[in-house]
Amino acid sequence: MMDAAPRDLHPPIEPDARGRLDVGDGHVLAWEACGRPDGVPVVFLHGGPGTGTEPAHRRFFDPRIWRAVLFDQRGCGRSTPHGETRANTTDHLVDDIERLRRHLGIDRWAVFGGSWGSTLALAYATTYPERVTGLILRGIFLGTDDEVAWFLHEMGRFFPEARDGFLGHLPESARGDPLAGYLPLLMDPDPRIHLPAARAWSGYEGACATLRPVSQLAAGAAAAAGRADEDRAMLAVSRLEAHYFAHRCFLADRPLLGRIDADPRLRLLPVHIVQGRYDVICPPATAVALARHLGSSAMLEMIADAGHSAFEPGTRRALVAAGDRMGRMLQAGLHPRSF
């Protein structure tokens, strides 16, 4: 019998299936699957926009319970073309999730997403609620103007050194509107222009991601700054985040909380929200607001000693425990009602 107590990440696991899915517009998504072939289906949605999946992300899922599907969103990770902003909107990403579900022959699945992944999970669940069995969400971001303004203008109050580096990359005349200042730099085709901008943007975000700085990680990031693979990853994150922020996350006309209020079906699904108390990138007030709109179906777990990162000890233990609980419930056939 499996231990129901909170636990750390599950052991490393390799995918037993991989593929590439052409979703149109020149975009091809890289996907993988691991765990029991007949397990409870779940899809993992990474953050960013722009980060991509990592082997450690598979370890949130007990392979004795789940059939976990992970994929890199448009322009991210192993998907191609890398860092591409054309035909890259929230609606495109939602449609890609649904296309992947159909491609894999999955009827319904749970959705696991953190940070931007939580945004995308809610956008998908409010578009295709009949295809979702439950939600596990972390570091809630709803893509609102206030949240974007916080990231660009206010987050640095807690990390002034990182803010100074972020703004210092721009000419003084552009520092009042850093998004407008960074966009042309990040979109410039010349690596001599876009790579230094990407490093400055990513350095700012990375410095704010954890409650306690980890010296080894900081040293590793600094040493990796000149490596082509790290530069490639930083460019995708910074370029796609700036692209989405400039377009108000493509959600301004259909705010996520408004969608939840307009369609009560999402309130029938089990939802577990894990939120770091000291998450400076995605402050806890947003998670509280989401839980209130979802009502009794949502459980909000506030981690007292965590910031934004999914891999801080308290957060990763809570995510694994939430996944184990929801997986056992769905495995036992205690599915939410079909719509």
| 62, 72, 231, 279: the active-site residue | 279
| 231, 243, 308, 324: the active-site residue | 308
Residue 99 burial by Cβ neighbours in a 10 Å radius (0-12, 13-18, 19+): middle
Q: Are 277 and 284 in contact (CB under 8 A)?
A: yes
Q: What is the DSSP string of 24-91?
A: ETTEEEEEEEEE-TTSEEEEEE--TTTT---GGGGGGS-TTTEEEEEEPPTTSTTSBSTT--TT--HH
**Cα separations in angstroms, 335 against 108, 113, 171, 277:** 10, 20, 55, 31
Torsion of CA 174, 178, 180, 185, to 10 degrees: 90
Taking residue 12's Cβ as centre, other Cβ atoms within 10 Å add up to 9
Question: Per DSSP, what are the bridge partners of residue 34?
Answer: 68
- For the chain, the farthest-separated pair of C-alpha atoms sits apart, in whole angstroms, at 63
Question: Per DSSP, what are the bridge partners of residue 300?
Answer: 273
| 79, 115, 118, 202: the active-site residue | 115
Active site residue 115: yes
Active site residue 308: yes
Q: How far apart are CA 313 and CA 114, in angstroms?
A: 15
Q: Are 149 and 127 in contact (CB under 8 A)?
A: no
Q: How far apart are CA 222 and CA 251, in angstroms?
A: 35
Q: 33-43 burial string, b = 16+ CB within 10 Å, else e?
A: bbbeeebbbbb
Active site residue 146: no
Q: Are 252 and 259 in contact (CB under 8 A)?
A: no
Residues annotated as catalytic are 115, 279, 308
